[in-house]
Amino acid sequence: MQGCAAWGETKLETDRRVIQKRIKILSDDIEAMKRARDTARKKRSENAVPAAAIVGYTNAGKSTLLNRLTGSDVLSEDKLFATLDPTTRAALLPDGQQVLFTDTVGFINKLPHNLVDAFRSTLEEAGYADIIVHVIDASDPQAEMHRRVVYDTLIDLGINDKPVITVWNKTDLIDEAALFRDFSADASVKISAKTGEGLDEFYSEVARILRESRVYIDTVIPYKNTSVVAEIRKTGQLLSEEYEEDGIHIKAYVPRPMAAKRELT
Ligand SMILES: Nc1nc2c(ncn2[C@@H]2O[C@H](COP(=O)(O)OP(=O)(O)OP(=O)(O)O)[C@@H](O)[C@H]2O)c(=O)[nH]1
Ligand SMILES: [Mg+2]
């Protein structure tokens, strides 16, 4: 028993108090980051640059991949939750298209209850992405469990309607013959973020999925349907809106399924 017991507090109580304090500090930090992100996101959505969120179990190699894609210097470490603040960087696909990649906090099984809300807000960035890049450490014997935790978390967050590209990472550490599949994904590639192997295929799959997932519209929405404009603002990218006599003239990129549902094309 430590000295604090003399004050009538057991070690367990002291630990709990220290942890609560730490959680409070982290939550405040995350709240401040959220405000900064909201501002940054508003700016981004004014351009029509597509966004990809890099998600995955902690330690899968998300930050390493972001660094590799954008030549940037995001903290990558062999420790849990190296990344808390999602970072966004621009990368150019070989076809010249610009894409914004956002690193996110690592997912984990059985997140402590009082951290769930804080993590949720950190992950909400993924909700604004056009495409989800799901990184899995293919060399980890628990890879299948990690894959499921990530899908379950995405469903929990209500992010289950976006195209997913599954990236089996760290293939430099495994037997070439190993077979990796993800039937839930729209595309699946094997890479090594460390050596750069497989990145060409990754880029071309990202380009393909983006091409297929969004459609450009230039149309007039009648004033009785203005809720459609609100929906576009939320799920698509509104480039311009002009109030005309017979409705709102909009130019926007919208998710293809939405364009079909609302008969916008
Ligand atoms: N051998 C090998 N190691 C890799 C590869 N990609 C990442 N790593 C290593 O895996 C560890 C974790 O990488 P990070 O990029 O920090 O992982 P993360 O997914 O961002 O982790 P969190 O931010 O904690 O969620 C680091 O030691 C990386 O150097 C790879 O392709 N091959
Ligand atoms: Mg990271």
Number of the ligand 1 atom closest to the C-alpha atom of 60: 19
For the chain, the farthest-separated pair of C-alpha atoms sits apart, in whole angstroms, at: 78
Number of the ligand 1 atom closest to the C-alpha atom of 173: 1
Number of the ligand 1 atom closest to the C-alpha atom of 77: 16
Q: How much is the pLDDT for 1?
A: 45
For ligand 1, the distance from its centroid to the CA atom of residue 48, given in whole angstroms, is: 30
For ligand 2, the distance from its centroid to the CA atom of residue 182, given in whole angstroms, is: 22
Q: How much is the pLDDT for 72?
A: 62
- Burial tier of 168 (Cβ tally within 10 Å: 0-12, 13-18, 19+): buried
Q: How much is the pLDDT for 41?
A: 64
DSSP state string for 37-105: HHHHHHHHHTS---EEEEEEBTTSSHHHHHHHHHT------SSTT---S--EEEEE-TTS-EEEEEE-P
Q: How much is the pLDDT for 86?
A: 57
Q: How many other CB atoms are there within 10 angstroms of residue 193's CB atom? A: 26
Mean pLDDT, the chain, integer = 81
Nearest CA to ligand 1 atom 7: 61
Q: How much is the pLDDT for 75?
A: 53
Residue 203 zone, left/alpha/beta (φ > 0; ψ -120 to 50; rest): alpha
Q: How much is the pLDDT for 4?
A: 47
pLDDT values of the chain reduced to their tens digit, one per residue, 265 residues: 444 445 677 888 888 888 888 888 877 877 777 776 676 666 555 555 788 999 999 899 999 999 998 876 555 555 444 444 557 788 888 777 778 888 887 877 766 666 666 667 667 778 888 899 999 999 999 999 999 989 988 888 888 888 999 999 999 999 876 778 888 899 999 999 999 999 999 999 998 888 787 789 999 999 998 888 888 876 677 889 999 999 999 998 887 777 887 788 7
Nearest CA to ligand 1 atom 27: 78
Does residue 192's CB lie within 6 angstroms of at least one atom of ligand 1? yes
Question: Which one of the ligands is nearest to 106 CA?
Answer: 1
Q: How much is the pLDDT for 160?
A: 82
Are 166 and 189 in contact by the 8 Å Cβ rule? The answer is: yes
Q: How much is the pLDDT for 81?
A: 45
Distance CA 225, CA 243 (A): 13
Q: How much is the pLDDT for 203?
A: 93
Angstrom CA distances, 80 to 77, 107, 109, 213, 248, stand at 8, 10, 12, 33, 48
Q: Are strands 164-169 and 131-137 parallel, antiparallel or unpaired?
A: parallel
What structural domains does the chain harbor? 8-212 (3.40.50.300), 214-261 (no CATH)
**CA 234, 239, 245, 247 torsion: positive or negative?**
negative
